[in-house]
Structure 1
Amino acid sequence: MLAKLSFRQLLFAGFLFIALLLSGTSVHALLTLERLTKQSRAVAHQAVQLTEDAQKLAERTVAMERSARQYLVLDDTAFRDIFFDAWQEARNALQALTQAIPDLPQQQVTDWNTQSELAWQVLQEGRQGGKNKLHHNQQELSQAFVRLPEINDQLALAGKREIERRNDQSLSELERQRRLLSGLVAGAMIIAILLALSFGLWLSRPLAQVEVAIERLGENRFDQAIAVSGPADIRKLGRQLDWLRQRLADLEADKARFLRHISHELKTPLAALREGVALLEDEVAGSLSDNQREIARILRQNTASLQTQIEDLLRYNAAEFDAQHLQRTPVNLVQLLHTVIDDQRLQWQARSLQVDVDEKGEARNIVADAEKLGVVLANLLSNAVRFSPSGGAIHFALLYADTGVRIDCMDQGPGVAAADAARIFEPFYQGARQPSGARSGNGIGLSIVQEYIAAHGGQVQLLPANAGAHFRIDLPYEFHLR
Structure 2
Amino acid sequence: MTTRVSRRWRPRSLLQLVLLAFLAVMLPLGVLMFQAGQALTELSRLADVSARQAVEETRRARTLGALALEMERSARQYAVVEQESLLAIYAERLEEYRQLLAQQRRLLPQDPDVAALEDQLEELAELPGLPMEDFQERLGEFLAFAQHTEAMRRATNEHIDARIEMIRARAGTVQTRLWLQTAALVSASLVLMLLFSWLIIRPVRQLERRILGIGSGARPEKRHSIQGPAELVQLDDRLDWLASRLDELEAQKQQFLRHMSHELKTPLASVREGSALLADGVAGEVTQRQREILDLIDASGGELQRLIEQLLDYNLLQHNRQMSPERLDAATVVKEVLSKHRLALSNKGMRVTCFDGPLEWHADRAATSCILDNLISNAIAYGEDGGRLEIRARRSHERLELEVANSGEPIAEEDRLRLFEAFYQGKARRKGPLKGSGIGLSVAADCARLQHGRLALVDDRQLDVCFRLTLPPAEAMAVANDDNPRLAHEMGLHARN
**TM-score interval (norm. to shorter):** 0.3 to 0.5
Normalised to the residue count of structure 1, the TM-score between the two structures is 0.44
What TM-score do the two structures reach when normalised by structure 2? 0.43
Bigger radius of gyration: 2
Higher RCO (C-alpha under 8 Å, 6+ residues apart): 2
